[in-house]
Amino acid sequence: MRNKDVSAVFDEIADLLEITGEQSFRVNSYRRAARTIKSLTKDIDDLHKAGGLGELPGIGKSMAAKIEEYLTAGHMALHAELMSAVPVELPKLLGISGMGPKKVALAWKELNVTGLDDLKRVIASGEFAKLKGMGAKSVEQIAKGLELLERSSGRTPLGIAWPLADELAEAMRGVEGVRRVEIAGSLRRGCETIGDLDLLCDADDRERVVTAFTRLPQCRRVLASGETKGSILVERRDGGEIQVDCRVVPTESFGAALQYFTGSKEHNVRLREMASKRGWKLNEWGLFEGETRLAGDDEAAIYEKMGVAFVPPEMREDRGEFDLKSAEAMVEIGDIRGDLHCHTTASDGTADAITMAQAACDRGYEYVAITDHSKSSAVANGLTIDRMWRQIEMVKGLNKKLDKITVLVGCECDILADGTLDYPDNVLAACDFVVASVHSSMKQDRDRVTKRVIDAMSNPNVSLLGHPTTRLIGRREPMDLNMEAVVAAAAETGTALELNASWQRLDLCDLHVRMAVEAGVKICIDTDAHSTAQFDQMKFGIATARRGWVKTKDVLNTMPLPSLRKWVAKKRKV
C-alpha cells in the first residue's frame, strides 16, 4: 500500500504552501486530503484502478488528478515545484517543537534562515528573538526543541515509551498532595510510536508538584519549570532520550484536560466544532455555556453533554468514531483466553515448553499454543520433520503435568518463496493449531508475494497467517501485499489474521485490522513470545486492536477452548 507515501506528500505540500504564503483555504484542502488518505483501509492503488478516487471525502477532481499523477509517475509536479521554491534544508525546521510553517517562513524571509545551522546562529545572536511575535518563551522552546531534535533518535516505540510512562506516573502518584495522575497524549491513544510523553496531575499546589516532577531521579535535564507545567528529558532504555511534559490542573478541569491533551488534534477539532454549533466552548479547562461550566471534572461527561457515545482514547482519530452508538464491546485485555503463538528453546525461545505454559497459566490463560519454527528457519533453529514429530509427542504430554491450562500442539510453519508450506500436510494435521508465516524472500513483487500468502491460507490445516506484512517498525518496511486480496482470501478460506503484539511488529497495523474485521475475518492477538516476560506484550496488541475498532467477538483467542477447537476443525473439514 502506498497510502502512507501519498498522505505524506500531501502533508508536505500543505507545509510548503504555508511557508510560501499561500492562502489558508488551499493549505487546509491539502491537509484534509492527507488525513483522508491516511485513514483509508483500502489500498489507494486499487481505488485508483477502480476509478474511485473522486468518491473519497475531500478529494475533488484536482486532488484526484494529483494522486493519479503520483501513483503513475512516482511524483507530483506541484510538490517538486514547491520544493524547488524553498531552500533544500528548510523543511527540516518543521521537525523542531514550536517551529510551525509560519515561524519557518518568518525565519527564512526575515533572517535568511535556510537550515538548522542558520537557526542556531540567529538564536545565539539574538536576532531570532527580535522577530515580530516571537517572544522570549517561544525562542527558549524552539532552542530546546532544536537541541532535542539533534540529540534524539526520533520517535519512541510504544513498547519503550509505555513502561517508562508507567514508571513516571507511579512516581508522581507518590508526591504529597497529588490526588490523581493519568498518562495522556499519543501513548494513551496506543499509537505505535510516540513523540513526547504527557502526564496530567490533579493537585492544588501546582507549582510544588511541578518542582517535584523536575526533581525525579529519572530526569536527565530540566527543559522548563513553571507554575503549572514542567518539561524534562528522560533517558530511554535503548539509550535515546524522550521529552516528558507534566501538567498540573485543578480537579474541576481534570477531565477536560485529559480529553484535550489525549488528542488527537483532528478528533479534538471535531469535538470543538460540535460544541461551537451549540453555542458552547470546549477547551482544556472545561465545557462552557457562557461563563457556566457544563462539564470538566469528568472526561466521559463531556461526550455525554455532546450527545455522543464515549469514545475510548485509542479510537480518537476522526475516523468516524462520533457515529458510534457505543464502544462498550471493544476488546479488552481481560477478554483474552490464551496466546496462540509462542516459542521455546526447541527453536529460538529462551524457556522450555513447560515453563512457557506455566507462565501463560500464571496470566490466567485457559490455553496456550507452543508454535516453534519449522525446518527452513535455520537461523531460528527450526525443527526438522523428525524433531517436529518428537515435539508433538512432548507437547501432548505436558497436558498430563498441567491441570490448570491446556497446551495446544502447534507450529509456526514457513511459507516458502513459491507459496508451499515448510511441512507436509500430515505433520500439519497432527497439530492442534498452525501458524503460517513469511520469513524469507520478502522483497518479491506485489502479485507474487500476495499469491504466495493466499496459497498458504488455502491449506485447510493453516489456522492463522502470522505477522502478515512482516514489518519491523522503524527497521523493516512491510511486504508489498495486496491487503484487500489477502483479507478477502482470509474470509473465503476461514483463516484468521494475526495482530502480532510484539511492539517491534504490531502487525497487522490498526487500519488493516479494521479492514479485516469489517470483512468478517477473525483477528488473533498473539505475543509471539520468545520468553516468559514477553507474554506481557499482549497489552500492546490490545491497544492496536482497539485503534482498529476490534470487538471482543472479532478475536479468535477470546473464544473458550471448545469453541476454538470447533473453529479450527471447521476449516479442516472443508
Query: Do the domains 91-151 and 1-85 match in fold?
Result: yes
Cα pseudo-dihedral 260, 264, 269, 272, rounded to 10: -30
Where helices occur in 399-465 by DSSP H, the ranges are 425-429, 446-457
pLDDT per residue over 147-161, tens digit each?
Answer: 877 665 568 999 999
Q: Work out the average pLDDT over 314-328.
A: 92
pLDDT at 439 over 80: yes
The stretches of 331-410 forming alpha helices (DSSP H) are 353-362, 385-398
Residue 551 C-alpha cell reads as 470487538
CA–CA separation, 306 vs 15, rounded Å? 33
Segment 379-424, tens digit of pLDDT: 899 999 999 999 999 999 999 999 999 999 999 999 999 999 999 9
Please state, in angstroms and as integers, the Cα–Cα distance from residue 194 to each residue in 154, 160, 230, 506, following that order: 9, 9, 19, 14
Helix (H/G/I), strand (E/B), else coil: 558: helix
Convert the pLDDT of each residue in 29-55 to its tens digit: 999 899 889 878 788 988 899 998 988
Average pLDDT for 437-449: 95
What CATH number was assigned to the domain covering residues 1-85?
1.10.150.110
d(CA 541, CA 524): 10
Residue pair 438/505 in contact (Cβ under 8 Å)? The answer is no
Domain ranges of the chain: 1-85, 91-151, 156-249, 255-323, 333-573
pLDDT of amino acid 509: 97
- The owner of cell 474485521 is 517
Q: Examine the pLDDT at 20 and tell me if it is beyond 70.
A: yes
Q: How far apart are the first and last CA of the chain?
A: 32
**pLDDT the model gives residue 127:** 93
At 174-183, the pLDDT tens digits run: 999 999 999 9
Give the whole-angstrom CA distance, residue 400 versus residue 394.
11
Does the pLDDT of residue 429 top 80, yes or no? yes
Q: What is the CATH number of domain 255-323?
A: 3.30.210.10
CATH number of 156-249: 3.30.460.10
Mean local confidence (pLDDT), 165-173: 98
* Tally of CA atoms within 13 A in the half-sphere of 256 that contains its CB: 20
For residue 220, the cross-strand partners are none
CATH superfamily of 333-573: Metal-dependent hydrolases (3.20.20.140)
The percentage of residues in the chain with a pLDDT greater than 90, rounded to a whole number, is 82
- Considering Cα of 36, then 526, then 314, then 173, what sign does the dihedral take? negative
Q: Which whole-number Å values give the CA distances from 552 to 7, 189, 330, 332, 516, in the listed order?
A: 31, 19, 6, 7, 14
Q: What is the rounded CA–CA span in Å between residue 210 and residue 229?
A: 6
**pLDDT(254) > 80:** yes
Which grid cell is 404? 490448570
- Taking the C-alpha atoms of residue 183 and residue 170, their distance in angstroms, rounded to an integer, is 10
Distance CA(225)–CA(210), nearest Å, equals 7
The arithmetic mean of pLDDT across residues 528-546, rounded, is 97
Binned at pLDDT 50, 70 and 90, residue 300 comes out as very high
pLDDT of the residue at 151: 62
- Output the average pLDDT for the chain: 94
* Digit-coded pLDDT (tens) for 456-491: 999 999 999 999 999 998 888 899 999 999 999 999
pLDDT confidence band for 1 (50 / 70 / 90): low
Grid coordinates representing 151 are 540529540
CATH 1.10.240.10 fits 91-151, yes or no: no
Q: What percent of the chain has pLDDT over 70?
A: 99
Q: What is the pLDDT of residues 57-80, one digit of tens each?
A: 889 899 999 999 999 988 899 999
The pLDDT of residue 147: 80
Other CB atoms within 10 Å distance of the CB of residue 371: 29
**pLDDT for residue 11 is more than 70:** yes
State the pLDDT at residue 476. 86
For residue 13, is pLDDT > 80?
A: yes
pLDDT at 328 over 90: no
pLDDT at 492 over 80: yes
Judged against a pLDDT cut of 70, whether residue 353 lies above it is answered with yes
- What average pLDDT does this structure show over 134-158? 80
pLDDT digit string (tens) for 115-126? Answer: 988 999 999 999
Report pLDDT for 146.
85
Least confident of 20-29, 162-171, 331-340, 350-359: 20-29
Q: What is the mean pLDDT of residues 100-111?
A: 93
Query: Among 526, 569, 524, 558, which residue's Cα sits nearest to residue 432?
Result: 569
Buried b (16+ CB within 10 A) or exposed e, 477-495: ebbbbbbbbbbebbeebbb
